[in-house]
Amino acid sequence: MLKITRISAAFLSLFTILNLLNFFLISISFIFFALLIFVYILILIYGSFYINSNFYIKTICSKPNNNKEIAITFDDGPVKEISPLILDLLKEFEIKAAFFCIGKQIAQNKEILERINMEGHIVGNHSYSHSNYFDFFSSKKMSEELLKTEDVIYQTIGKKVKFFRPPYGVTNPALKKAVDKMKYTAIGWSLRSLDTKNKNYKNILAKVKRKLSSGDIILFHDLNPEIIKVLRSFFEYALSNNYKFVRLDKFLNTDAYENQ
């Protein structure tokens, strides 16, 4: 498992050794130093964008098991036109899900969040703005966003969340500081539907069916109207193949809210 502290220590050690060799024994070309820095930067980028790497933040992305248990999650809602339809479908199939909600979306759709809670699903923090520039925010500004979302969730359903999913799945040192400050459990995924990029119902469905395995945390979104058709077919497929949908907190055997 990659860790920023280990990689940085290894890079510093190797860089120091090369400098000592260059100074005392042999002349080392600048190209070797440039290449070392380039590789280090590539690793940092990989660690930032690949949430499963646990590079900056310990993130739960799956829970391997032999019971064909899986957990389903939704990001970026609640959305007035789509989230209620998802809830209808979940109710029909008697499946409980986790909704990682954007604060500004909650502020506009509090009644949907209330329904999510009333129907036995759980809620997580997904930032307030989900800004394209969120990953460039200072740790202080990130913390303010997380707190603002936490507050609007608490004001709506009276629960203080413990689960957090990074916007875009990107992590960095500033976010680690904010997550640690808020004492959140960071949640990733092991199966990503890519339903915000691929708008074709058949392609989305084929992907999740092909890659589904026991222990998956599956990521969908409340954004694509095609998701309703995808979900119905996916639920039918998974259940017919003896998969069991388990609510995320029970799946991970940890509380989704404080003081439960």
- Rounded to whole angstroms, the Cα distance separating 162 from 256 reads 5
In 3D space, the residue among 127, 123, 104, 98 whose CA is nearest the CA of residue 113 turns out to be 123
241 Cβ neighbours under 8 A, 6+ residues apart: 68
Question: Which residue(s) pair with 217 in the sheet?
Answer: 71
Spatial separation of the C-alpha atoms in residues 230 and 198, rounded to whole Å? 12
- Contact indicator for 147, 125 with CB cutoff of 8 Å: no
Q: Is 102 left (phi over 0), alpha (psi -120 to 50) or beta?
A: beta
What letter does residue 115 receive in the DSSP assignment? H
Told to judge if 195 belongs to the known catalytic residues of this protein, a careful annotator would answer: no
User: Catalytic: which of 126, 216, 221, 249?
Assistant: 221
Q: Judge whether 75 counts as a catalytic residue.
A: yes
* Other beta carbons within 10 Å of 152: 21
For the annotated catalytic residues, the residue numbers are 75, 221
